[in-house]
Structure 1
Amino acid sequence: MSENEVDVALGAPIEERATRLAELPEDQWFDRKSVRIDPKTLAKALVAFANAEGGTIVIGLNDGEVEGVKRHASHVNALRQASIDFTVPPVRMHADQVGVRRADGSTDALLLLRIPPSEGVHETHTGDCYLRIGDESRKLTQTLRTQLEYDRGVSVYDGTRVAGSIQQDLDQAALSAYRQAARAQSTYQRLLQARSLLTREGELTVAAWLLFAALPQSTMPHAHVRVMQYGSIERGTGSRHSVISGKDIRVEGRIPDVIMEAARLVDEWLPSRDALSADGRFEPIPIVPRDAWLEGIVNAVVHRAYSIVGDHVRVEIFPNRIEIESPGRFPGLVDPKNLDGISRYARNPRIARVCADLSIGRELGEGIRRMVDEMRLAGLTDPVFTQTQASVKLTLAADARIPAAVADRLPRNAESVLNALRRSRRPLGTGEVQEALGWARPTVVRHLRALRDEGLVAWRGQSEKDPRATWEIAFD
């Protein structure tokens, strides 16, 4: 569910409002609390939302029933003060009340708290730090808190102002389409304010500009996607550069349009292979599942570091793989080596929320897990993420996955060794594998020998002590 579902429920007739709010699932942007909640406990949720992407808390609903807040005036005042009394620094929020009907037909009200994403890191008065992840307000360890503080230096860039910009600079047709998608009844200004797309002074944020300006690249030329197709599995250099003529296109425009156009080009250019269909006939299918590479493009565009002005997103299509590179390293809360347990974290929370309203992508974390699932369902190897000093590269390769029975016999993380050999596109010595993985030499040797015993890698050398001996993939 996206934040616009909450707005739709709040805009329902008073007789339906409580029921609709009670039926909404709690998620990244929405939570329900009993009116009896202690202000100190409420502070944990306020901190979690502020440290993540912001959100809405509705107070006065409990187990689907309307408790209301009218009979709890003094306690409601304490809840309104929770951010001042129990969060450090105080979480910025907007409090309001909305009318509802109780089961007996009488009129009551709910307390509505809107929390925007914060520019800094907040904690409770006891020194605990929380982050909203899915439907949980998760307490962070000291290590994760330190990483959050580090990441906050770049994560708020989409909330900085575009100097001299005003709402009238935005494309009115794009705003109208967004308001319709969000099913909002408010003015454009109220809608932009609700998504933290305007500064307190009324100027546009970077997020608003990238999402709704007629041509964002007029002031941010780096905010584009370059799509290329190669005729060889290697890029080549100089006269041997293998980009196909006419297949190197720079895609510009608003973020939603850039994603759609880049996806159209990949749909058109991605090679296919013949595969047996359900009806017993061979049919051409893309070498990489569409849902996998589309999530990769969405994540690259939505979560790239727009503060890095000298680089852009690249989508490179090869005969045997697709590579997507995006400026900015993974945030510290994300471990690219642990794809199944990756944490959700949005570098650009305002952009992420609007794209969720527009049903674009599944967000960082969920989107990555979806890529993994799609590749595994297609019988292909897991996505591989490689970090440089200033970027992340995703590789989706059309390489067959190890059979489950074989994988069970191998040491844990053996597939990382195979991925290192695949990425190199050439045989590697033991030391080179060790350097690529950052593992101890005995661990690398043990994994390589296990893979060799299963016939997955081949050793090429004159003797056991041959310094020029290499390892290579034996089954792709």
Structure 2
Amino acid sequence: MFPAEVDQALTLPPDDAIAQLLALPESQWFERKSGSIRASDFAIPLVAMANAEGGVVVAGLHGGTVVPVDDKAANALRQAAIDFTTPRVHARVRELITRQGRVLVFLIPPSEYVHETHRGDCYMRIGDESRRLTYTQRQELEWDRGVASFDGTAASGVSVHDLDAPRLESYQTRLGSTSPELALQARSLLTRAGGVTVAGYLLFASHPQDLYPSAHVRVLVYNQNDRGTGRSLSLEDGHDIRCEGPIPEQIERAADTVADLVPRRRALQDSGRFGPVPYVPRDAWLEGLVNAVVHRSYSISGDHVRVEIFPNRIEITSPGRFPGLADPTDPQSISRNARNQRIARVCADLGVTQELGEGIRRIYAEMRRAGLSEPVYVQGPAAVRLTLLATRAVPDDVATALGPNALKVLEALRVAQRPLSTGQVQELAHMARPTVLRHLRSLQQAGLVTWQGESSRDPQATWRVT
């Protein structure tokens, strides 16, 4: 579901709104609770939503029916944030009086703070559940929250009148709001003083690059696997393209550009006929592109998202590191932790992104389905780079025989995309030299790498992927 569906339901008469809210699935931004829930337990979804991207918690719906909130419970639930959350979760409360009783709707904005319950437990909304965070995960959230709140700061000197009116009206209609200001308020895109946030400006200004020149996507095409430098630069003439505009539009422009420029090979298509197909699956690079734009660090100026197309791979670079303590060596384990909560939620409203934090796992699945090598994430000092290789994956039986450390050595060579000495492979793989040599010889016997040199003592000898 799109989060806008909840907003649309809330514009209906109370009984119709309740029918819609009962029909919608619970999600990243929507949860139902019984009207008889204890106020201390109700604090959990309030904390979880505030620590994530905000959302709506409805008290009075459970098990597919209305379980109304009585007078005593209504007072306790309204005070739950004051009594049972630290720091207090701010929420707007709407009361729906239906034929079956009272239902309370809590509208929770994303927060710049990390919240916990009165018991000291920290929760975060991930998919359709409020997940209790471990101590390490809480540290991750706290360390990253300072950067995460950047999209909620005021864009200097910007008012609602500086935004693109047609885009804003279209979004207003999607949410069912009665004014552009209310639509922006519904997604915390206005500050308390009424100014437009950085997120609001990046999403709805006609040309946000006026204030944030680095907020764009650059698509480059090379005719060799190595970029080269100076006179040997392999960048194709006319294939350095900047995609600008508001975030949804620049994603669309960049996707169209990459789709036109990505190399193709003749293969069996889903239709059962042979024809041209992208050498890297569209769904894989598109997911990588969307993730890079939506979750990049916009507080880092001077750098932009890059999509670099080589004859044998696509590289997507996004400014900013993975949030907090997320482990870049195991990307599939990274849970949803949107750096830009407001941007992520609006993009979900517009159908640009999905809700369950499944983007990285989907990239892996698409590459595996195409029989290609697994995606490679490399985290640098100020950016994350995703490499999607157009090389065939190692067969399962060969991979089992070689073992994980040999495959790690092979991955180091593939990521480098150039011949490497044994010492360079050792440095990239973080293994002892004898271990690296043993794995390189195993890979050589399997026909996956080749050695080039004059003799076994040749200092210029190198290894390369076959």
TM-score, with structure 1 as normaliser: 0.92
In 1: Cα distance, 2:111 partner to 2:151 partner = 11
Deviation at 1:427, TM superposition (A): 3.2
**Relative to structure 1, is the Cα distance of residues 15 and 124 closer, same or farther in structure 2, using a 3 angstrom cutoff?**
closer
Q: What amino acid is the match of 1:315?
A: V
Q: Distance in 1 between matches of 2:95 and 2:338?
A: 29
Which of 330, 351, 355 does residue 343 from structure 2 map onto?
Answer: 351
Deviations 1:189-229 (A, max 9, x none): 11110100000110000000000112111111111111111
State which of 125, 141, 147 in structure 1 corresponds to 2:118: 125
Paired amino acid for 2:56: T
Paired residues of 2:114 and 2:142 also in contact (CA < 8 A) = yes
CA distance in 1, matches of 2:380, 2:357: 20
Structure 2 gaps, min length 5: none
- Is the 8 Å Cα contact of residues 453 and 461 (structure 2) preserved in structure 1? yes
Aligned residue in 1 for 2:14? 14
Task: Provide the residue aligned with 1:312 in structure 2.
Answer: 304
The aligned counterpart of 2:248 is 256
Match of 1:105 in 2: none
Of 129, 135, 144, which residue of structure 2 is paired with 1:151?
144
Worse-superposed segment, 347-356 or 454-463? 454-463
Greater Cα shift, 44-53 or 191-200: 44-53
- Do residues 27 (structure 1) and 19 (structure 2) align? no
For residue 282 of structure 1, report the CA deviation from its aligned partner: 3.4
Partner of 1:218: 210
Q: Give the letter aligned to residue 107 of structure 2.
A: R
1:392 partner letter: V
- Give the distance between the partners of 1:183 and 1:271, measured in 2 at CA: 39
Question: Are 1:62 and 2:54 an aligned pair?
Answer: no
Question: Contact 1:335/1:343 (CA < 8 Å) preserved in 2?
Answer: no
Is 1:296 the counterpart of 2:307? The answer is no
SS in 2 for 1:340: helix
Deviations 1:230-270 (A, max 9, x none): 12111111111111111112221111111111111111111
Which one is further off, 232-241 or 149-158? 232-241
- 75, 100, 117: which one pairs with 1:77? 75
Aligned mates of 1:337, 1:364 — CA distance in 2: 21
Cα displacement string for residues 137-182 of structure 1 (whole angstroms, at most 9, x for unaligned residues): 11111111111111111011000001222111111111122223x2
Instruction: Give 2:58's aligned amino acid.
Output: V
Deviations 1:58-98 (A, max 9, x none): 000110111112xx212221111111111111111111212
- Pick aligned residue for 2:164 from 155, 159, 171: 171
> Cα offset for 1:111?
0.7
User: Retained in 2: the 8 A contact 1:421–1:427?
Assistant: yes
SS in 2 for 1:274: strand
Once residues 471 and 390 of structure 1 are traced to their aligned partners in structure 2, the CA distance between those partners, rounded to angstroms, is 29
| Alpha-carbon distance in 1 for matches of 2:369, 2:299 | 36
Distance in 2 between residues matched to 1:93 and 1:15, nearest whole Å: 23
CA distance in 1, matches of 2:406, 2:357: 23
Q: How does 1:371-390 map to 2 (within 5 A)?
A: 371-390=363-382
| Counterpart amino acid of residue 424 in structure 1 | A
- 1:50 matched to 2:43? The reply is no
CA contact under 8 A between 2:34 and 2:60: conserved in structure 1?
A: yes
Q: What amino acid maps onto 1:423 in structure 2?
A: V
Give the 5 Å matches for 1:38-437. Answer: 38-69=38-69, 72-102=70-100, 108-180=101-173, 182-277=174-269, 281-362=273-354, 365-412=357-404, 414-437=406-429
Three-state SS of the structure 1 residue aligned to 2:287 is helix
Contact 2:27-2:355 at 8 Å conserved across structures: no
Q: Secondary structure at the match of 2:107?
A: strand
Sort the Cα spacing of 1:76 and 1:315 in 2 relative to 1 into closer, same or farther, 3 A: same
Q: After superposition, what is the alpha-carbon deviation per residue over 1:361-392, rounded to whole angstroms, capped at 9, x for unaligned?
A: 33683111111111111111111111110011
Deviation by residue 1:94-123 (Cα, 9 ceiling, x = unmatched): 112123333xxxxx2211111111101111
- Shift of the alpha carbon at 1:461? 6.7
Distance in 2 between the 1:448 and 1:82 partners? Answer: 61
Q: CA 1:374/1:251 → structure 2, altered by over 3 Å: closer, same or farther? A: same
| Superimposed CA distance per residue, residues 292-343 of structure 1 (whole angstroms, 9 cap, x where no aligned partner) | 1111111111111110111111111111111111111111253232233321
Gaps of 5+ in 1: 103-107
Contact 1:7 1:184 in 2 (8 A): yes
Kindly state the Cα deviation for residue 463 of structure 1 after the two structures are TM-superposed.
8.0
Secondary structure of the structure 2 residue equivalent to 1:156: helix
Cα distance change, pair 230–113 in 1 and its aligned pair in 2 (3 A) = same
Q: CA 1:200–1:129 in structure 2 vs 1: closer, same or farther (change >3 Å)?
A: same
Deviations 1:20-63 (A, max 9, x none): 21221111111111112122211121111111111110000110
Structure 1 residues 311 and 279 mapped into 2: Cα distance closer, same or farther (>3 Å)?
closer
CA distance in 2, matches of 1:364, 1:442: 43
- Equivalent position amino acid for 2:335 in 1: S
- The DSSP-based 3-state class of the residue aligned with 2:360 is helix
Paired residues of 2:175 and 2:183 also in contact (CA < 8 A): no
Equivalent pair of 1:386/1:393 in contact (CA under 8 Å) = yes
Secondary structure of 1:427's aligned partner: coil
**Contact between 2:217 and 2:307, CA under 8 Å: does it hold in 1?**
yes
Amino acid at match of 1:28: Q
| Amino acid in the other structure paired with 2:274 | F
Residues 411 and 450, structure 1, Cα contact 8 Å, conserved in 2:
no
RMSD: 2.2
Residue 415 of structure 1, CA deviation = 3.5
> Structure 2: which amino acid aligns with 1:155?
A
Q: Which moved more, 1:356-365 or 1:196-205?
A: 356-365
| 1:341-367 Cα shifts (integer Å, max 9, x gaps) | 321111101000000011003368311
Provide the rounded CA distance (Å) in 2 between the counterparts of 1:115 and 1:294.
31
Once residues 395 and 415 of structure 2 are traced to their aligned partners in structure 1, the CA distance between those partners, rounded to angstroms, is: 20
